[in-house]
Structure 1
Amino acid sequence: MLWEVEIRPIGRDAERERVCDEYDWLTHSQRGGDLITAAARGYLLEGNLSLEEADALCVELLVDPLLETSTLTAIPVESAPDTVTVLLKPGVMDPTAQSVLEAAARMNIPVSNVRTFRRYFGPVAAVDDAAIRKVLANDAIEQIVVGPLTASHLSLGKPTPFQLVTVPLRDADDATLEQISRQGQLALALDEMQIIQTHFRELQRDPTDIELETIAQTWSEHCSHKTLRSAVRYDETIDGVTTTKHFGNLLKETIFGATQTIREQLGDKDWCVSVFVDNAGVVTFNDEYHVCFKVETHNHPSAIEPYGGANTGLGGVIRDPLGTGLGAKPICNTDVFCFAPPDTPPESLPPGVLHPRRVMQGVVAGVRDYGNRMGIPTVNGAVLFDPAYLGNPLVFCGTVGLIPVNRIEKAAKPGDLIVALGGRTGRDGIHGATFSSLELTDESEKVSGGAVQIGNAITEKKVLDVVLAARDRGLFHAVTDCGAGGFSSAVGEMAAEIGADVQLELAPLKYDGLTYTEIWISESQERMVLAVPEADWPALQALAESEDVEAAVLGRFTDTGRLKLSYHGNPVGELDLHFLHEGRPKLVRAATWTKPPEQEPLGHGHRRSPHESLLAILSSYSVCSKEWIIRQYDHEVQGGSVIKPLVGVRDDGPSDAAVVMPILGDYAGIAIGCGINPQYGKLDPGAMAGLAIDEAVRNVVAVGADPAKIAILDNFCWANVRDPEVLGALVRTAEACRDVAVAYGTPFISGKDSLNNEFRSPERTIAIPSTLLVSALGQIADVRTCVTMDLKAAGHLIYQVGVTKPDLGGSHYHMVQGITGGRVPQVDLELAPKVFRAMHAAISAGLVRSCHDLSEGGLATALAEMAFAGEIGVDVTSLDAITGPEPLSDIVRLYSESPTRFVVEVPEERAAAFEQLLAGIPLAKIGVTVKEPRLRIADSNGEWLIWAKLSELKDAWQKPLAW
């Protein structure tokens, strides 16, 4: 029997309001209300259940009688023609439907299949309008049905007969090789296809489809980081002089090289445990536990399906610590987003591009739902805006984990069982790794929709509990997450040094109809792969069953050095693991970078007064309050959050970094911060790298982290690296990362790159700005010494720490003035570590009441944020006390974004001790805190450059994204 449950709201119809508002906003019209008269949600229920049982399910589970009414009817429904129903496409994960299935089973109601839907009523059904279709459904994952539903809308898949597929590769010419890669979405370049062709010619056979797909997943940019690991010939031209450098392995000689140098310098005091070899980087914490950290990107999926892309981006990175060593417990999450401005005119959107406001709302909801449902606090992040992110939004998600010191080593052993744990396998996520390695186009939404997954956080929470319990009982030798490339990558990596035999028909499936290749490369979520001694399999199986988690043996690890795949007894693939992991061609890539001529914008184009400039900066999208986002996240769960994302009298000021106490009752803590500003990269990507590292470090130092034990992570997001100039910017950035990390003593412990972030359509190409995110993991001996950025009391002294220089290139002051060019700030590799050490000493000694780093918007912006967060005023009467190596104007003193600077609040009775402790560090006493709720800043003549009420400043800061 097939039943339809249609559920309508009592009173306000929020879903109708949403789609009408979005349609009106997208089309600059007021027609939405005429097209859509009502909205509903509902379920299709299939099973041998009676009317009474279906009604009981509605009453007890599906419908809230206080807020909703429902209609229960048998399919087919004789519905009016003016209905439009939106369903997920067959094969797309539906967590709500899965939850209903599980609940019905507990109620002993025989439901065998469930689909959810949304329904809209009115003339919309008869309107052929692309805009209305865009607001009603996302074509990447959803389908629109006009009129009544039928039983066919519930079907997911049918059994298909086995048929071995081979790919005619041996005799193909170059054009055919490229066509095979393109049509198969393999993302393999011609030189790679030629190497594969040569390999199979030596074997005197053509590859099967699963063999070719396995190679494509393993060699993808997403999985192998082949650009950063490649050899590069780099030509750098500065002031007309060209220098050529050769890198044998760019990543090894820059990012990895920095960490290796730092570890050698530390010697016996090395606190790095595991770097760049596991799913997350690991550093020491205390005698019992280490901490690990990983930040991933999920950009392409988020561009075509924002909710699912971000949802599974966070779900995937949570599995990284879980798959590190023998399993780490996730203790907090971070996120950083880069969007096009939300007020982008809808008519300017290229075909196939979602509006940035919709992308932003979907991404935030996706991260919110996964983190909150997992019970992991989201404690730190950033949001930036630039028109160049229109075609490719950037979504960075990170997770910090805690792992026992004796659970770091792992290795699969020959004879171990290959066990899949967690979610079932479906078509969601097919070609995810290769899809993420390609540029987006106006066709991506249609041809790559299967690369998007929808996550189920509840399933992952149960998987997490099972893995950690099994870890503590010693039931497995190794574990990794099943992410990009699915079983192909997970099993392939675990078996790289030994071998594996896999029987693909043993994988639990969501529905019938998957081919053996789809089973192998599917990226369905919430799956882990374990290497389990055969003797421990019964105990692991029982443990999984006790937590309602599915576990299945897929095969066995071997000592053959080969990966053998079969399906119902039929051999479908066999690959040499050395070729799979080491066979990719080693080519030399060409990279160039030419320093642009320096423009001199200072003194030109200043159209706003200092007061107006401050308000404009505070209300710019990248600086303004992100409270609308932060309030959706649970940052208190697990009880260890010490410094929250928002601080101050009303908990609405911008914290520099988060502080978490990983072990409740132990006051040792960790600080999490980040640094990112692509505006600098437009002028000098090398400077951008140094400034990103400096910002990440000073953010965690500002709350109390010890600069002697700060680990950092890199995330490179770049455009088309096949362009030598784009690759040259990446090389310059990587070199600067190496130099600054070594100077600061901050080792890189993990990283991730996302390349080819370009959108192409016949009309235009949109390339993202070169973007580097640096995340910092600092450590704090006692969280009770931490400080926040909000001012605490009147009558305290205000100091600026650090050197100010007239470097406004890439600054927010230039941005709001409409000025381009200029000199980009540069880090001082010798002075910066001294400043960080001195600031840490002052904070640890209890001399500082509040501290805020100077970043976007400079001194004026930092003072405004500190003042309105603490509801304490500030009078700055000694602005000219701020000096530098060059003459400084008042505009430079107010808005320069020179790095390694802080604003500090110090009680007058502690001022002498503070100044003594910072002897030798550039320091300026600039003002005092006052009771009056105002910010006043005077020039050297005593004239007020800025005089603003705190309410005016706060209003400017909070309004832009107060959605």
Structure 2
Amino acid sequence: MASDVVTLWDINIRHLPESPERRTIDNHSQQTNADLRELGAIASERFGEDVPGCETSRGFLLEAELAAEEIERIAHRLLADTVIETVDVTQIDRREVPANTITVLPKPGVMDPVAQSARQAIATLGIAVESVRTYRRYLFPANASAKLLEFVAPRVLANEAIEQVVFGELSAEHLALGSSYTFERVVVPISTMDDAALERLSREGQLFLNLTEMRAIRDHFVEQNREPTDIELETIAQTWSEHCSHKTLRGPYTYEGEPGEGGLLKDTVFKVTKDLDLDWCVSVFEDNAGIIRFDDDWNICFKVETHNHPSAIEPYGGANTGLGGVIRDILGTGQGAKPICNTDVFCFASPDYAYEDLPDGVIHPARVMRGVVSGVRDYGNRMGIPTVNGAVCFDERYLGNPLVFCGTVGLLPKERSFKSPKPGDLIVALGGRTGRDGIHGATFSSGELHTESESVSGGAVQIGNAITQKKLMDVLLVARDRDLFHAVTDCGAGGFSSAVGEMGETIGAHVTLDSASLKYEGLSYTEIWISEAQERMVLAVPSDNWGELRELCESEDVEALVLGTFEEGGQLLLTYQGETVGELSMKFLHDGRPNIVHHGKSSRTPPAPLEVPSDVKPGKALHGILGSLNVRSKEWIIRQYDFEVQGSSVVKPLVGESEDGPSDAAVIAPVPGSTKGVAVGCGINPRLADADCYAMAASVIDEAIRNIVAVGGDPDRCALLDNFCWGNTERPEVFGTICEAAFACRDIAKGYGTPFISGKDSLHNEFQTPDGPIVIPPTLLISAMAIVHDVRHAVTMDLKKNGNNLILVGLTRDELGGSHFNLVTGATGGTAPTVDTTVGRSIFEAVHRAIGEGMVRSCHDLSEGGLAVAVAEMAFAGELGAAIDLADVPTSEKMDAMTILFSESNTRFLLEVPQEKTDRLLKLFGDLPIAVIGQVTEAKELSVRGAGGEVLRESIAQLKQSWQQPLK
């Protein structure tokens, strides 16, 4: 907190202008001024003046009683790169700032990781400072009006959910972090509340519980003959939230009037895994991540999380902590797994969306995309974990609710795959300190967004610090190997509330909240309990091991403290300053939530006939699909991620002659010295949901598996993860579509023998506007992980050699419903792709065997854009050409060349096979649909013949340009 006895120093750092001797680029300045220019038309219309450019700088605010020489030393030795930057050091009360200066800095209580690192670095110089804050500063021309600056600041310069905007001079008030807290036990008089009062309490308290649940809470405390405290209500709300309990998909339901046997997940993804009963599934739907057997010594675990609502409000922080959170899920699996790679999948509205059409409270999609990508990039890169696989989808319905999926794979000693806290174990908090970060994050994620969400729920956003988590990870894995704890879990949604509540569910726990280490003073006991401050884990530690664990943590500068003990009795007891502030029965907390029946109504209709505009040409359609948002190159994103760190990446996200072709999946070799590997891939195609949600779910499962198979993964050792992201499932027609998708998960997984081992759902992804809700399309992400028995046999999708045969595996059907061909050409109707698991399983096994026996030089699955896009991508990735004949393509019926080229039928691969190995490969496939359809050529063009002659002839270079240019 600011003090009257310390000096407030401003260290302002500006990028030097580029010169022949100094060829550096100020990226932040360039991006800021580009964003300002994009607002030009709107500003001119509203204010009658153009949006001017601005000068940018960054800086640090220090509270310290130090001589100017020491501040100069800090500035030049630590904080600035004096080769390309210039530094100006002043005291805040001894300078004048131009009126048209805007300073942006984190709001009090928002995590500032750069400031934390700076303070630690200053301490290494032997210099003590009271506090450090960072800022960004923008200087506009003197003739820019105040109204114009107030307009551009929240749209370009700052996110007011987490940042404060200061016009002109800064003062000490802008540095304040917290104030003293006077303890007062808060009791909520719920027993006399009627329905309206209960609903108001839920809404205004951001509990996000429905009326039935609020009544159950009231009745419980009436039976107890007492009123609840605020912390008890918050604990119940966290535990009962959709985010933590998945109550919609786990609760009772009906579909078309027929009741389910259990919850929807229990009847579908859980059931198929249980029925398959595969011995290599070690732990499924029990721990923080699903675990499968890797080899005799190691197991592999995988988890994919969503962080949608926080990313809609603060894209960088939401995505940053989304990845940080799923990494902690892996660290909290078993007794601690080592993260070995990350995945990410994003869903955005178009980055070209018109500014003037943005609803109030919505951040522009281009800014969302940049923030999300950089948030994931910074966390993974700084922790030294490679990001090896992912996807990006675009649809205007993601405008109010972008989707952010973050996944992590971990390596776990097989004897450390299970955990169990024991009565008498100490509850130890490890890692970062507790602040107001993410208050109500779990409950907030269970509601719908609206125009006021940014201001009402801004506290639900967290900011991560990857360096803190890296140190935490290193300590945790050493402590695991020393056998210093019985159990571990992460502080995710709900913070200590969920971590301790889940670990102590079967026994009980006593927590002394004033033992927690705080970032700043002023937090109430309830804020300490439900804070979602990042980089924290909770361990169950035998008391005899506490001393050794504490010394280990001190040696690595990781904070560790005892919060309480796990105790028998089935009670959760919370105390603060010696007084009981909360006491809840674990049984009521975890089993007391009333079940609410959800009703599903079918919306499936027969497909409309396909209608294609008469002027559609194959070449133009191919260029259009390659350049469309969903298919085009994502190299701009991929290149920002380090996918080589740890040295285990075998098949990388970009492959081919120039290392810029789109890989189907990733392959890593996680154990040094071993050639055994893991393939990681995914399937997602929300466009198909508009045609048929059952078909959509079936298709994305098929896509995830064939992506894995295409690089060498074993389909018989393949596990799946599901992530359902839907709108408001209270509406029967919406719940009906999620039922249909879940039924497909059950049916297709059973047919392919692929168990589900983990999952996560995110519902209520709607943004309320005065004109009605913006509802995301039903979106199912299927992630897949499979064993690669020998990574030396893994293959990539780029063509390798002139003269090799191109062999199409799988049956092409008249299935253009929901296709990218329809999207690009304006065609309508058509049948959505179907899945035949009987034939499909045989195809997967045959392709896997052919790859394992070294017959296949390259392999690419057919997905968005069908055969035409697949062969084009293989050709320009390998910088070779291809000639194919559609007359030889295996089809279900007679169909025209356009349909054969662009059908998105499932379970199809295009293989490159040497001439001398072709007969043996065809014999291996037997009666399965397969045919040689062409050859690899030296001529760098794609030529396609049909029954009537040449259908298409396109330059490979021009096709690649269409694919690469849009996001270049």
Q: TM-score, normalised by structure 2?
A: 0.97
Q: Does 1:629 align with 2:637?
A: yes
Q: In the alignment, which residue of structure 1 is the partner of 2:183? A: 162
The one-letter amino acid of 1:467's match is L
Q: In the alignment, which residue of structure 2 is the partner of 1:114? A: 132
Measure how far apart 1:33 and its partner are.
Answer: 8.3
Measure how far apart 1:36 and its partner are.
Answer: 4.0
Q: Does 1:681 align with 2:689?
A: yes
Counterpart selection for 1:16 from 29, 34, 38: 29
Measure how far apart 1:887 and its partner are.
Answer: 1.9
Q: Does 1:98 align with 2:116?
A: yes
Q: Does 1:417 align with 2:423?
A: no
Q: In the alignment, which residue of structure 1 is the partner of 2:917? A: 910
C-alpha contact 2:199 2:211 (8 A) present in aligned 1? yes
C-alpha contact 2:603 2:737 (8 A) present in aligned 1? no
Q: In the alignment, which residue of structure 2 is the partner of 1:126? A: 146
Measure how far apart 1:471 and its partner are.
Answer: 0.2
The alignment's C-alpha RMSD in Å is 1.2
Q: In the alignment, which residue of structure 1 is the partner of 2:511? A: 502
The more displaced of 590-599 and 25-34 is 25-34
Measure how far apart 1:886 and its partner are.
Answer: 2.2
> Map of 1:571-586 to 2, 5 A cutoff?
571-586=580-595
The one-letter amino acid of 1:384's match is C
Measure how far apart 1:571 and its partner are.
Answer: 1.0
CA distance in 2, matches of 1:333, 1:955: 29
Measure how far apart 1:605 and its partner are.
Answer: 2.0
> Map of 1:721-740 to 2, 5 A cutoff?
721-740=729-748
The one-letter amino acid of 1:127's match is K
SS at match of 2:777: coil
C-alpha contact 2:76 2:87 (8 A) present in aligned 1? no
Counterpart selection for 2:846 from 834, 838, 842: 838
Q: In the alignment, which residue of structure 2 is the partner of 1:693? A: 701
Measure how far apart 1:606 and its partner are.
Answer: 4.3
Counterpart selection for 1:56 from 47, 67, 73: 73
CA distance in 1, matches of 2:207, 2:934: 61
The one-letter amino acid of 1:75's match is I
Measure how far apart 1:692 and its partner are.
Answer: 0.7
Q: In the alignment, which residue of structure 1 is the partner of 2:883? A: 875
Counterpart selection for 2:173 from 139, 148, 152: 152
Q: Does 1:379 align with 2:384?
A: no
Q: In the alignment, which residue of structure 2 is the partner of 1:716? A: 724
CA distance in 2, matches of 1:306, 1:855: 29
Q: In the alignment, which residue of structure 1 is the partner of 2:619? A: 611
Measure how far apart 1:206 and its partner are.
Answer: 1.1
Q: How many residues align?
A: 947
The more displaced of 919-928 and 93-102 is 919-928
Counterpart selection for 2:90 from 70, 73, 79: 73
Measure how far apart 1:593 and its partner are.
Answer: 1.1
> Map of 1:514-913 to 2, 5 A cutoff?
514-602=523-611, 604-876=612-884, 878-913=885-920
Residue by residue over 1:305-358, the C-alpha shift from the partner in whole angstroms, topping out at 9 and shown as x without a partner, is: 000000000000001110000000000000000100111111111000011111
Measure how far apart 1:508 and its partner are.
Answer: 0.4
Gaps of 5+ in 1: 236-242
Q: In the alignment, which residue of structure 2 is the partner of 1:239? A: none
Residue by residue over 1:117-140, the C-alpha shift from the partner in whole angstroms, topping out at 9 and shown as x without a partner, is: 111112457234423431010011
C-alpha contact 2:810 2:890 (8 A) present in aligned 1? no
Q: Does 1:944 align with 2:941?
A: no
Counterpart selection for 2:102 from 73, 84, 109: 84
> Map of 1:284-303 to 2, 5 A cutoff?
284-303=293-312
Q: Does 1:314 align with 2:323?
A: yes
Q: In the alignment, which residue of structure 2 is the partner of 1:207? A: 228
> Map of 1:445-524 to 2, 5 A cutoff?
445-524=454-533
SS at match of 2:497: helix
SS at match of 1:201: helix
SS at match of 1:140: coil
CA distance in 2, matches of 1:45, 1:594: 60
Q: In the alignment, which residue of structure 2 is the partner of 1:45? A: 62
Q: Does 1:244 align with 2:258?
A: yes
Residue by residue over 1:394-433, the C-alpha shift from the partner in whole angstroms, topping out at 9 and shown as x without a partner, is: 0000000000011012111111110000000000100000
The more displaced of 484-493 and 676-685 is 676-685
Q: In the alignment, which residue of structure 2 is the partner of 1:229? A: 250
SS at match of 1:332: strand
C-alpha contact 2:709 2:848 (8 A) present in aligned 1? yes
SS at match of 1:228: helix
CA distance in 2, matches of 1:126, 1:732: 54
Residue by residue over 1:567-624, the C-alpha shift from the partner in whole angstroms, topping out at 9 and shown as x without a partner, is: 111211000000000000022211111312421024x324320000000000001000
SS at match of 1:903: strand
CA distance in 2, matches of 1:596, 1:740: 21
Change (3 A) 1:207 1:867: same
The one-letter amino acid of 2:92's match is I
C-alpha contact 2:36 2:52 (8 A) present in aligned 1? no
Gaps of 5+ in 2: 1-6, 19-25
SS at match of 2:14: strand
Residue by residue over 1:605-653, the C-alpha shift from the partner in whole angstroms, topping out at 9 and shown as x without a partner, is: 2432000000000000100000000000000000000000000000000
SS at match of 2:370: helix
SS at match of 1:549: coil
Measure how far apart 1:246 and its partner are.
Answer: 2.5
Q: In the alignment, which residue of structure 2 is the partner of 1:238? A: none
CA distance in 2, matches of 1:157, 1:397: 32
Quote the sequence identity (%): 57
Q: Does 1:193 align with 2:232?
A: no
The more displaced of 73-82 and 522-531 is 73-82
Residue by residue over 1:485-542, the C-alpha shift from the partner in whole angstroms, topping out at 9 and shown as x without a partner, is: 0000000000000001101011000001111000000000000000001110010000
Measure how far apart 1:469 and its partner are.
Answer: 0.3
The one-letter amino acid of 2:811's match is V
Residue by residue over 1:144-163, the C-alpha shift from the partner in whole angstroms, topping out at 9 and shown as x without a partner, is: 11111111111100111111
CA distance in 2, matches of 1:607, 1:724: 41
CA distance in 2, matches of 1:945, 1:299: 44
CA distance in 1, matches of 2:167, 2:191: 48
The one-letter amino acid of 1:555's match is G
C-alpha contact 2:434 2:533 (8 A) present in aligned 1? yes
C-alpha contact 2:669 2:677 (8 A) present in aligned 1? yes
Q: Does 1:4 align with 2:10?
A: yes
C-alpha contact 1:641 1:661 (8 A) present in aligned 2? yes
Residue by residue over 1:775-805, the C-alpha shift from the partner in whole angstroms, topping out at 9 and shown as x without a partner, is: 0001111000111000000001111100110
C-alpha contact 2:36 2:51 (8 A) present in aligned 1? no
Measure how far apart 1:250 and its partner are.
Answer: 1.2
Measure how far apart 1:247 and its partner are.
Answer: 3.6
Measure how far apart 1:166 and its partner are.
Answer: 1.2
CA distance in 2, matches of 1:429, 1:607: 54
C-alpha contact 2:890 2:930 (8 A) present in aligned 1? no
CA distance in 2, matches of 1:959, 1:378: 23
Q: TM-score, normalised by structure 1?
A: 0.97
Measure how far apart 1:34 and its partner are.
Answer: 5.8
Measure how far apart 1:14 and its partner are.
Answer: 4.0
C-alpha contact 1:36 1:120 (8 A) present in aligned 2? no
The one-letter amino acid of 1:506's match is S
CA distance in 1, matches of 2:835, 2:823: 21
Measure how far apart 1:883 and its partner are.
Answer: 3.2
The one-letter amino acid of 2:866's match is G
Q: In the alignment, which residue of structure 2 is the partner of 1:368? A: 377
C-alpha contact 1:16 1:36 (8 A) present in aligned 2? no
The one-letter amino acid of 2:84's match is L
Measure how far apart 1:891 and its partner are.
Answer: 1.1
C-alpha contact 1:853 1:901 (8 A) present in aligned 2? yes
Measure how far apart 1:818 and its partner are.
Answer: 1.5
